Amino acid sequence: MLSALAIVAIAAVALLLAALPSAIALSLVGLRVEWVGAALTFLGAGLGGVKLLAMAWAVGGRIFTAHPVRGAAAVD
């Protein structure tokens, strides 16, 4: 459940980051340039941080799970 919510949140932020520049270019959103740059930087850093956390969580989960022992390959 939590991972599904994280996926939805990351997708929403990614869509926002993709749509915001075009909305600003079409003057649909009246924001000052400094605020736009700061907001995009903050959202991009947050998205990158969440991505790094998810990758670390996946690697850590694989380390602690038990894998069945595989047989040795035959040498020709």
By the 8 A CB rule, do 47 and 10 touch?
A: yes
C-alpha pair distances (Å), 44 with each of 10, 55, 65: 11, 16, 32
The predicted pLDDT at position 74 comes to 58
What's the count of helices (H) and strands (E) in the chain, helices before strands?
2, 0
Q: What is the pLDDT of residues 13-72, one digit of tens each?
A: 888 878 877 777 777 767 677 777 788 788 888 888 888 888 888 887 777 666 665 655
